[in-house]
Structure 1
Amino acid sequence: MLKAFAGSRPLLWLVLALPGLWIAGRWTFTPDLYGYGHAIGDSGDWAAWLLMATLAVTPLRLLLRRQSWTLWLMRRRRDIGVASFAYAALHTAIYLVRKGSPEFVLAELSSGYIVAGWAAFALFLPLALTSNDLSVRRMKRAWKRLHRLVYPAAILTFLHWVWSAFDPTTAWIHVGILAAIEIVRVALQRRQRVT
């Protein structure tokens, strides 16, 4: 029973929610030390990290087919992706609350990093809404085609990070990691088709 609980979805979601609880707790109890800048930065970081984790599942599975934990990751990949979207939604909500009015939000649409962020969010929304078993069954092949939007959405997410960062070095490191994940995925999928 303990083993079943350890591999359960509720436990995974509890683990995935912990950073959000930490962000909310710190902002609530220490608002002077942990304000808007930290909250929006940390929520954005977690959205990007979980997105990278989601994209890393396929190359890991292709590389380590015999490992049971990679099968577990494949089965939970949609959960990790939805958690990434949840942190992106939190990131967006923090931004909207801070701006306080539609006029301020619209005024910032001339900034490239804001446009990239909104475009990424718009692409992720249908992915999050269809990341359930019912959508997979009903949409069939169209589901897979729709979920290929994760790649342009990821590019926009990391452009948003690079353009909005005070020091983009960390963002560029993450762009490099994302590029490596995708290069490995494409190479392994091509090799699999050839053999």
Structure 2
Amino acid sequence: MSAKRLLLWLALSLPGWWLVGRWALTPDAYGYGHAIADSGQWAAWLLMVTLAVTPMRLAFRRSALAKWLVRYRRDLGVASFAYAALHTLVYLDKKATLANVLEELPQDFIWSGWLALALFVPLAVTSNDVSMRWLKKSWKALHRLVYPAAILTFLHWIWSAFDPTTAWIHAGVLAAIEIARLWLQRARA
């Protein structure tokens, strides 16, 4: 791993260490609600950055930032998945038993979260050079699952929020990113 990639992963992991540290050291002040919300928000924010890479690349081809984002897009996506996995672990820790998890499964915000996670697993597992070479053209088709997974992620956030205003704002940003991507792709065709 290059020094630049190692530094990127160190930076990407800092919010996670902060979150886990606060939850472990001050569980009364920083309880389940904070841990679940913060881990989920970091997953969503990194997902939005990952999805913004294509429109950035199309709009600002020669930009140093766009080139950097393209180079590290898979790292950002895997980091988003890592925060989603942390979000899931916090949830599972709170629920404690499989029976409690299954009891909640029919709720909209729960099944949408589990389905989003299920779609992200093959994306995270195949976000490496070996998988790209092995899957060839199928790799790109597989990684288009990020779009339904993103929709499910934001539905999960909207349906689970006490006040969904912030979730709706972020969903609007996601929609703007996707509209920009589609418009720029059509403009180039």
TM range (shorter): over 0.9
Find runs of 4+ consecutive structure 1 residues off by over 4 angstroms: none
SS of 2:62's partner is coil
Report the counterpart of residue 189 of structure 1 in structure 2.
Answer: 185
Report the counterpart of residue 62 of structure 1 in structure 2.
Answer: 58
Report the counterpart of residue 74 of structure 1 in structure 2.
Answer: 70
Report the counterpart of residue 23 of structure 2 in structure 1.
Answer: 27
Matches within 5 A, 1:134-153: 134-153=130-149
More deviation, 135-144/23-32 = 23-32
- Tell me if 1:122 matches 2:115: no
Shift in Å, 1:68: 2.1
2:90 to 85, 90, 94: 94
Unmatched segments (≥5 aa) in structure 2: none
1:14 to 5, 10, 20: 10
Identity within the alignment, %: 67
SS of 1:131's partner is coil
Report the counterpart of residue 176 of structure 2 in structure 1.
Answer: 180
Unmatched segments (≥5 aa) in structure 1: none
SS of 2:105's partner is helix
C-alpha separation in 1, matches of 2:174 and 2:161: 17
TM-score in terms of structure 2 length: 0.98
- Tell me if 1:155 matches 2:151: yes
Shift in Å, 1:163: 0.2
Shift in Å, 1:167: 0.1
Shift in Å, 1:110: 1.4
Q: Give the aligned residue type for 1:111.
A: Q
CA RMSD of aligned residues (A): 0.9
Task: Say how many residue pairs are matched.
Answer: 188
TM-score in terms of structure 1 length: 0.95
More deviation, 116-125/68-77 = 68-77
Report the counterpart of residue 48 of structure 1 in structure 2.
Answer: 44
Shift in Å, 1:69: 2.3
